[in-house]
Structure formats: structure tokens, C-alpha cells
């Protein structure tokens, strides 16, 4: 399990963060100058260079959002100009993309970050520019919400696999619905039916908490507190749950750690946002206490599982049930080894999880007398401390990635294995690079006494 150090404070990260943002700048310009955008969105690296490969164009917002985060952290206007230019000229198709569950990734990372910076006063206020970002976010949330599979008591945003498929990843795309709602928008459907987007976001969160997260309550033979399933399969004729499944994990009865991390971060963010919600929207789901209850239960369960099933330095292997782990000995009682010959680690899962742990810890610190708040906070710091140094931080000027030892799709064999190696190692992903930047920005703002970094700052 993760080993924490109670003496570790955010101030200990100052020098690491300076170096991190310097390297981050180099990587952004490297990709901008050398990547051929005609290939499609960059997804992950092969021998140190970004290539495009995937089911959908779900990573372009991370590419352009990275420049916006870089400006947020450093104030270098060249990055703001780059992020704005690419958002305006290349992101419009993602707003009306009806075929994906990734609007929170693509559009909140770009249009959302730009609107947030304007609301925070970090870029000049401009009425028409603000209206442009606002309209984009309104449309994005409504389009995302239209991918809806109804259940007896709610429903979920279905994945690109089809109406039968609930992906755990999508919990973080709920941000697009939340922002659209807070900006005064609705989804208007057949017969002019007006659909409340916050209700739909929270219904999706409830379905994810109910079916994608396990709580050790005897659901099946592999039920364990905080374990997650990447995909849940439903019978669309009657809305009944049929089975857990995995696309990128080892199986439906093991825990793909990036999916676990998406849940940790997504539930923690919704908890932080909850105080801004209106009572009418919450009443449909049983009221504020009920909603907070299922969000908090899912967030704490998944964070507990991550802490217990991750090596001491906070970086997990790609799946907690991967068969090769049995050849690594007491791998849980030592730091992760990204250079082993049995199973790869996934640093991108760690980058996402770090933010989930920090946000849950921060949320619980505001609750009087919560004894676990410090545990989550310290675990988040431990994970981030590991990632901000080698062998995870990419220092080679020839490598386009920022965070090394990320894994995309192990079962499909998409990840690059170096000559003479047996497992993927030494490569980066667009989501891993983006989320380590988010976590670093989160901590930098705390150190500097800046406003708390949250996606909903764009609607405050």
C-alpha cells in the first residue's frame, strides 16, 4: 500500500514545480512544431514521438488544453495565444460530436479553461469572447447528455460502444453537463421536452456509483470495497444490469487502475461542486443528503482501494488483477518498478488518482472532525511527489512526452514495447501529460495562495 509521510507539505514541491513547468513548455512546443495534425489527434508516444491511434478523437482537448494550463501556471502569453488559436480553429467539431462520451475531456479542457481564466481575472474580460466560450460549453453539455440510456430510476450516458454500455471514464465528462446547466442551458428533446442537465449528470453519477463501483456488500464473488469495473453491460430492452466487463482492463472482475482513477477524480470533483447546486435539481434524486451520500461513498471507497492496492510510491500497475503480477514477488511492499519484465505500470492512472486523493482530502478537511481527510491528502501528495521526478518525469529533449510509463490499451497490444523488452515502458500519453499538468497546477495554486483550482470556477 501507499506509504505516506506526515511531514510532506506542498512547500516541498516548489523546486520540483519550477522544473516541471520548464519541461512542460519544451514538450508543448516540440509537439506543436513537429507533430503533423493531418494524422488526427495525438494519442500516445511510440519511441518518444506522438502518434495517433484510438477508437475516437478523444485526446485533442488535452493537447490544446495543455497550452492553456501552461499559461495559467507561468503567465507566458505565447501559450495562451496557442491555446486560444487551436481551440477556436480546431475544436468546433468536438462540440457537436454525437458519437462519443468524451465532451468533458475535449471541451472542458479547452473552452472551459479559457472561460475559467476569464472569470478568474487571469485574462482580460471580453464580452464577445466570453459569449463564445459560454455558447460552446452550453452546446457541449447538451450534446453529451443526449447519449442517454434510461433505467428504472434514472439512467446513464452511454459509451461509444452503444446504449448497452456504461463506461466508468464518463464520470469525469459529467463536468460538461454541470457547466452547461450552471450557464442556464437545457437539453430540449422530442415534443419540446425540457431536460435538466444537472439532474442528468447526477443520475449518471448515481448509476456509476451503483453499478461500476463495488462496496463489499456481497454483490458477486469478487465484490471488494472500492473495486471498479471499466464497463457495465445492460439489457436495453428492460434496463436491467447484466454484468461487469472490461475493454482496457484485464477482466470485468479485476480493477483497471485508470478506470479506478477516473472514478476517484470524478466523484471528488462532483462532491466539491455540490454546494453550488440548486435544491430543486437534487430533490429528484432524493435531496442533498442522498446525493452527497452516494458521491461520498463512491469517492471514499475508490480512494481507499487505490491506497490499499498500489505500491508504496503511489504508482499502480495497469490492472490489479494482471496475471504477471504474481511473478513480481512482494510488489505491493516496495516502489513500483516500471522496468520489470512482467506487467507495466500506468503513470497516467497515478496522475489522475493524485488529483482525486487531493480533492477528496481537501473536501473532508472542511468537514469537522473527519479523521481520514489527512490520509487522502498525504496519499495524494505522495503520488505527485513520485511523478514529479525521474524515472516518471521526462527530461530528454528528444522525447515529446512529459510523463513516462503510461499505458493505453494493454489487451489490444497498442502500446510500444522497446527492442529487447517484454512490456510497454518509457512512453507517454496525451491524457497522462494533461492530468499531471492539472495536478501540478492544483498544487501550485495552493502554494501561491491563488484561487482554488476547480472546473466550476468558470461559472462562479
Report the CATH number at residue 309: 1.50.10.10
pLDDT, position 57: 87
Does residue 304 surpass a pLDDT of 90? yes
pLDDT, position 404: 98
Confidence of residue 56 (pLDDT cuts 50, 70, 90): confident
Separation between Cα atoms, residue 353 and residue 345, nearest integer Å: 14
3-class secondary-structure state, position 228: strand
> What's the average model confidence in pLDDT over 26-47?
95
pLDDT, position 74: 98
pLDDT, position 66: 98
Percent of the residues in the chain that have a pLDDT greater than 90, as a whole number: 95
Of 323, 207, 302, which is closest to residue 260 (Cα–Cα)? 302
pLDDT, position 80: 98
Q: How many residues would you count in the chain?
A: 460
Strand runs labelled E in 71-229: 148-151, 154-157, 165-167, 187-188, 194-195
Q: Nearest 5°: phi and psi at 419?
A: -55, 130
Alpha helix segments (H runs only) across 246-333: 257-273, 279-283, 288-308
| C-alpha distances out from residue 115 to 102, 278, 440, Å | 19, 22, 20
pLDDT in tens, 373-394: 999 999 999 999 999 999 999 9
Separation between Cα atoms, residue 380 and residue 118, nearest integer Å: 29
Rounded to the nearest 10 degrees, the angle between the axes of helix 373-387 and helix 430-448 is 120
| C-alpha distances out from residue 199 to 105, 128, 155, Å | 20, 29, 10
> What's the average model confidence in pLDDT over 2-19?
96
| C-alpha distances out from residue 290 to 202, 209, 283, Å | 11, 12, 9
pLDDT, position 55: 76
Separation between Cα atoms, residue 373 and residue 367, nearest integer Å: 9
In-domain check, residue 2: no
Confidence of residue 371 (pLDDT cuts 50, 70, 90): confident
In-domain check, residue 323: yes
pLDDT in tens, 225-242: 999 999 999 999 999 999
3-class secondary-structure state, position 394: coil
| C-alpha distances out from residue 382 to 12, 284, 444, Å | 11, 39, 15
Confidence of residue 285 (pLDDT cuts 50, 70, 90): very high
Does residue 45 surpass a pLDDT of 80? yes
> What's the average model confidence in pLDDT over 353-370?
92
| Cα radius of gyration rounded to whole Å, the chain | 20
Strand runs labelled E in 70-189: 148-151, 154-157, 165-167, 187-188
In-domain check, residue 73: yes
In this structure, are residues 92 and 110 in contact, taking their beta carbons and an 8 Å threshold?
Answer: no
**Number of domains making up the chain:** 1
In-domain check, residue 438: yes
pLDDT, position 370: 79
Separation between Cα atoms, residue 115 and residue 457, nearest integer Å: 9
Percent of the residues in the chain that have a pLDDT greater than 70, as a whole number: 100
Residue with cell 434496463: 239
Separation between Cα atoms, residue 27 and residue 304, nearest integer Å: 34
pLDDT, position 280: 86
Instruction: Provide CB contacts within 8 A for 49, sequence distance 6+.
Output: 34, 400
First and final C-alpha spacing in the chain: 38
Residue with cell 472551459: 112
Separation between Cα atoms, residue 352 and residue 365, nearest integer Å: 20
Does residue 172 surpass a pLDDT of 90? yes
pLDDT, position 101: 94
In-domain check, residue 370: yes
Of 194, 268, 298, 301, which is closest to residue 290 (Cα–Cα)? 298
Q: In sequence order, what DSSP letters do the residues of 279-298 get, joined into one string?
A: HHHHHTTT-HHHHHHHHHHH
Separation between Cα atoms, residue 168 and residue 184, nearest integer Å: 27
User: Burial, 240: exposed, middle or buried (Cβ in 10 Å; 0-12, 13-18, 19+)?
Assistant: exposed
pLDDT, position 367: 83
pLDDT, position 49: 97
In-domain check, residue 348: yes
pLDDT in tens, 185-200: 999 999 999 999 999 9
User: Burial, 342: exposed, middle or buried (Cβ in 10 Å; 0-12, 13-18, 19+)?
Assistant: middle
> What's the average model confidence in pLDDT over 170-197?
97
In-domain check, residue 379: yes
* Structural domain for 377, as ranges: 10-459
pLDDT, position 369: 72
In-domain check, residue 234: yes
CA dihedral 113, 114, 120, 121 (to 10 degrees): 160
pLDDT in tens, 69-100: 999 999 999 999 999 999 999 999 999 999 99
pLDDT, position 278: 86
> What's the average model confidence in pLDDT over 395-416?
97
Amino acid at each position: 500500500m501507499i506509504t505516506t509521510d506526515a511531514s510532506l507539505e506542498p512547500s516541498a514541491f516548489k523546486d520540483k514545480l519550477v522544473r516541471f513547468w520548464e519541461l512542460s513548455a519544451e514538450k508543448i512546443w516540440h509537439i506543436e512544431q513537429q507533430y503533423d495534425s493531418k494524422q488526427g489527434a495525438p494519442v500516445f508516444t511510440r519511441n518518444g514521438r506522438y502518434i495517433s491511434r484510438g477508437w475516437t478523437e478523444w485526446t485533442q482537448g488535452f493537447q490544446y488544453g495543455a497550452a492553456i494550463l501552461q499559461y495559467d501556471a507561468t503567465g507566458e502569453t505565447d501559450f495562451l495565444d496557442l491555446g486560444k488559436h487551436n481551440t477556436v480553429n480546431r475544436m468546433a467539431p468536438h462540440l457537436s460530436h454525437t458519437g462519443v462520451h468524451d465532451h468533458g475531456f475535449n471541451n472542458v479542457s479547452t473552452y472551459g479553461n479559457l472561460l475559467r481564466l476569464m472569470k478568474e481575472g487571469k485574462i482580460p474580460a471580453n464580452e464577445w469572447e466570453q459569449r463564445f466560450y459560454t455558447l460552446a460549453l452550453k452546446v457541449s453539455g447538451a450534446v453529451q447528455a443526449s447519449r442517454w440510456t434510461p433505467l428504472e430510476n434514472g439512467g446513464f450516458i452511454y459509451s461509444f460502444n452503444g446504449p448497452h454500455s456504461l463506461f466508468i471514464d464518463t464520470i469525469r465528462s459529467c463536468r460538461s453537463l454541470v457547466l452547461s446547466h450552471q450557464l442556464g442551458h437545457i437539453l430540449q428533446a422530442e415534443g419540446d421536452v425540457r431536460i435538466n442537465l444537472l439532474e442528468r449528470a447526477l443520475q449518471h453519477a448515481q448509476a456509476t456509483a451503483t453499478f461500476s463501483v463495488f462496496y463489499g456488500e456481497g454483490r458477486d464473488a469478487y465484490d471488494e470495497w472500492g473495486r471498479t469495473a471499466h464497463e457495465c453491460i445492460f439489457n436495453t430492452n428492460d434496463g436491467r444490469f447484466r454484468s461487469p466487463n472490461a475493454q482496457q482492463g484485464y477482466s470485468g472482475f479485476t480493477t483497471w487502475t485508470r478506470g479506478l482513477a477516473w472514478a476517484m477524480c470524478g466523484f471528488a470533483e462532483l462532491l466539491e461542486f455540490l454546494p453550488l447546486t440548486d435544491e430543486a435539481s437534487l430533490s429528484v434524486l432524493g435531496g442533498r443528503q442522498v446525493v452527497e451520500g452516494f458521491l461520498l461513498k463512491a469517492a471514499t471507497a475508490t480512494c481507499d482501494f487505490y491506497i490499499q492496492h498500489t505500491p508504496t510510491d503511489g504508482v499502480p500497475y495497469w490492472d490489479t488483477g494482471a496475471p504477471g503480477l504474481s511473478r513480481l514477488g512482494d510488489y505491493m511492499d516496495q516502489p513500483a518498478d516500471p522496468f520489470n519484465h512482467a506487467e507495466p505500470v500506468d503513470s497516467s492512472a497515478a496522475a489522475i488518482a493524485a488529483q482525486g486523493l487531493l480533492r477528496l482530502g481537501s473536501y473532508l478537511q472542511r468537514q469537522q472532525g473527519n479523521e481520514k481527510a489527512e490520509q487522502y491528502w498525504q496519499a495524494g501528495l505522495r503520488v505527485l511527489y513520485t511523478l514529479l521526478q525521474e524515472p516518471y518525469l521526462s527530461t530528454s529533449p528528444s522525447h515529446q512526452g512529459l510523463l513516462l510509463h503510461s499505458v493505453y490499451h494493454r489487451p489490444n497490444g497498442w502500446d510500444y514495447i522497446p527492442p529487447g523488452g517484454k512490456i510497454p515502458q518509457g512512453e507517454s500519453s496525451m491524457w497522462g501529460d494533461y492530468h499531471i499538468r492539472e495536478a501540478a497546477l492544483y498544487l501550485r495554486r495552493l502554494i501561491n495562495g491563488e484561487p482554488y483550482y476547480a472546473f466550476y470556477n468558470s461559472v462562479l
